[in-house]
Chain A
């Protein structure tokens, strides 16, 4: 009997990677999944933070996919290494701050290393020619194979018939005529295949799995980099960009204002890292001040914070400003009317 070949599948949690892995299982290949955590993945973060969302249980789609497939899933933390991909993408960014081509190259390369260390023969992805403007074009897909070093050990089962033959096909590990020739942005072939395999309730495809493709998130990231004069970032920075209203009244400081109890509680956890503002005489948000602030800045920050409290229509609101060393100052301020908050301050 011939040896059972092994493939490692990049599992994003979307439909395409689910189908690609399923096609390989159908051909008798041993498949295990790999999923990379960049820090920007849209998983349950905002969900876990926001109180109103807590009751709805949110699944991790990559785990869900693996369970549907009956395969193992290895989740790899690449937060540190990913910084260089995001800060210096050789192939540039997409529509927002998404360095998709470099990201794909990086992930396929990591999968290749994993495959070598674990005795796997090839790598599969759910990519489809022409589906994404940056990383899934006929001219960029070979770039991913080449620059990742995976070369002809990278197989894309959903569109393999549109691409040159890969090693698994040449060697007869998989049958090329049982792979697919999908192309373009039309999702109907994938939906039909999902139906054939009985997959229902899969995560809705195309985009949506990464904060870097989100316009408003990207704007916040660029604002952070500009304000700091460096593109370095930590996991806490990435997390804070997902939470609250971000208002920058001056280049040297920004306010992060909780929008509900869950966010307020989350922001409270940063009280030793940032100046915080809390309303004392009415319910209101917890506000963080990121940057340096003069007494005048504190006053303005308190007025803005009061604007988002339940005392917004009162003549004055009492706010406690707390410095990172625990020293507090009590400020009695007039809430800033909405019309006075410069729209350009919103990040």
Chain B
């Protein structure tokens, strides 16, 4: 399945969520997307947005002042 990346560094919430939402609109079910953000709030907000909108968070991690959220697109 195709994998995509989204650079949402130097943006503050809710911008990383908005960019994730807009990117996911272009993707297909089963695609994966990794979002990178420098706002630690993204670690709460992006998974919350995914739960609400029916997408799956596969993994989150946090390294060197950056957070990574790996998402599987489930419902488009």
Instruction: Please report A residues at the B interface, Cβ cutoff 8 Å.
Output: 35, 37, 41, 43-45, 47-49, 54, 57-60, 62-64, 66-67, 71-77, 239, 269
B18 proximal to A (CB < 8 A):
yes
Contacts of A59 in B (CB 8 A): 44-45, 48
Contacts of A45 in B (CB 8 A): 12-13
How far does the alpha carbon of A43 sit from the alpha carbon of B49 in the complex, in Å? Answer: 15
Check A60/B40 contact, CB under 8 A, given A44-B12, A45-B12, A73-B53: no
How far does the alpha carbon of A73 sit from the alpha carbon of B39 in the complex, in Å? Answer: 21
- Nearest chain B residue, comparing its CB with the CB of A65: B52
Contact B45 A63 (CB under 8 A): yes
A300 CB to closest chain B CB (Å) equals 31
Which of B14, B15, B21 has the most chain A CB atoms inside 10 A of its CB?
A: B14
- Nearest chain A residue, comparing its CB with the CB of B38: A48
Contacts of A73 in B (CB 8 A): 49, 52-53
Contacts of B13 in A (CB 8 A): 43-45, 48, 60
Check A77/B15 contact, CB under 8 A, given A57-B44, A63-B52, A72-B52: yes
Contact B18 A77 (CB under 8 A): yes
Grouping DSSP codes into helix (H, G, I), strand (E, B) and loop, the A interface class, with mixed when no group exceeds half, is: mixed
How far does the alpha carbon of A63 sit from the alpha carbon of B12 in the complex, in Å? Answer: 15
B6 CB to closest chain A CB (Å) equals 15
B18 CB to closest chain A CB (Å) equals 5
Contacts of B54 in A (CB 8 A): 72
Instruction: Please report B residues at the A interface, Cβ cutoff 8 Å.
Output: 10, 12-15, 17-18, 21, 39-41, 44-45, 48-49, 51-54
- Nearest chain B residue, comparing its CB with the CB of A74: B21
- Nearest chain A residue, comparing its CB with the CB of B10: A269
Contact B18 A37 (CB under 8 A): yes
Contacts of B14 in A (CB 8 A): 35, 37, 41, 43, 60, 62, 75
- Nearest chain A residue, comparing its CB with the CB of B21: A75
B5 CB to closest chain A CB (Å) equals 20
Contacts of A35 in B (CB 8 A): 14
Q: When the two chains form the complex, which single residue of A37, A44, A71, A269 contacts B41, counting CB atoms closer than 8 Å?
A: A44
How far does the alpha carbon of A48 sit from the alpha carbon of B51 in the complex, in Å? Answer: 22
- Nearest chain B residue, comparing its CB with the CB of A66: B52
Contacts of A44 in B (CB 8 A): 12-13, 39, 41, 45
Q: When the two chains form the complex, which single residue of A37, A48, A239 contacts B40, counting CB atoms closer than 8 Å?
A: A48
- Nearest chain A residue, comparing its CB with the CB of B13: A44
How far does the alpha carbon of A75 sit from the alpha carbon of B14 in the complex, in Å? Answer: 8
What would 7 more interface pairs be, CB under 8 Å, given A43-B13, A48-B41, A62-B14?
A35-B14, A54-B40, A60-B13, A60-B14, A73-B49, A239-B12, A269-B10
How far does the alpha carbon of A249 sit from the alpha carbon of B21 in the complex, in Å? Answer: 43
A67 CB to closest chain B CB (Å) equals 5
Contacts of B41 in A (CB 8 A): 43-44, 47-48, 57-58, 60
